Amino acid sequence: MKDLTRIILASASPRRLELLRSLRLEVDVIPSRYREPSIDRFTPSELASVHAREKALEVRLRADHAPIVAADTIVDLDGTALGKPRDAADAARMLGLLSGREHIVHSAFALMDSTRDAIFEHCESTRVTFFKLGDREIADYVESGEPMDKAGAYGIQGFGATLVERIDGDFYTVMGFPLAHFVRASRRMGFLLHPAKNADIIK
């Protein structure tokens, strides 16, 4: 087993950076250049896993030998994948579809040990139910700009939490990175996180 104190995040997501730093890891950010096409032959959860894996593989070509983690989140409404909105109108459309309904959030990650070309993939799913949203509520939320970089056009860690009536599952999956599952995946890959040893990394 090897101590894990430093990792490369293949994403520009401030939320995932914050979560990894909460584990007192030193995090180097190298955003992936992988484009996320819609691939019809995959289910939404499979698509999240494909995107996460491809992001990690792309960054592997440009990184050193530190472990790499990439992630992807997709909102699944009755089997239809909702990614990030194209514009404000698309964000309002997505929120209208989710209003008063249950959907599933799939957050997948790929953890790569590039020293031995090993990769571990996991996708976690959580059910989310929205309150019934009025047109004004949707318009105000879209105007805030918060939905624009988030799958399904909302973020549960921000003002979007006020849209959510309940969740059934892991909160961090809805946030975009299933943190506890990442820690357990790290152990399976031969990495150990030691909070005490990592305590001085992030001030």
Give the whole-angstrom CA distance, residue 12 versus residue 114. 20
Does residue 200 lie within any of the structural domains?
no
Give the whole-angstrom CA distance, residue 157 versus residue 174. 9
The total number of structural domains that make up the chain: 1
Q: 199 pLDDT band (50/70/90 cuts)? A: low
Does residue 70 lie within any of the structural domains?
yes
What is the pLDDT, as a whole number, of residue 136? Answer: 97
Residue 202 is given by DSSP the state -
Does residue 125 lie within any of the structural domains?
yes
Does residue 47 lie within any of the structural domains?
yes
72 is catalytic: yes
The whole model's pTM is what?
Answer: 0.91
Report the CATH number at residue 106.
Answer: 3.90.950.10
What is the pLDDT, as a whole number, of residue 114? Answer: 81
Q: What is the pLDDT of residues 76-103, one digit of tens each?
A: 999 999 989 999 999 999 999 999 999 9
Supply the mean pLDDT for the chain: 92
From residue 184, give the alpha-carbon distance in Å to each of 188, 189, 191: 6, 9, 9
- Range 41-52 average pLDDT: 93
Cβ atoms within 10 Å, residue 14:
10
Does residue 202 lie within any of the structural domains?
no
- Range 188-203 average pLDDT: 70
Q: Which one of 3, 40, 72, 200 is the catalytic residue?
A: 72
Residue 203, pLDDT > 50, answer no
Q: Containing domain of residue 161, as a range?
A: 2-192
Does residue 104 lie within any of the structural domains?
yes
Q: 197 pLDDT band (50/70/90 cuts)? A: low
Does residue 154 lie within any of the structural domains?
yes
What is the pLDDT, as a whole number, of residue 48? Answer: 95
Q: What is the pLDDT of residues 146-193, one digit of tens each?
A: 999 999 999 999 899 999 999 999 999 999 999 999 999 999 999 988
Does residue 198 lie within any of the structural domains?
no
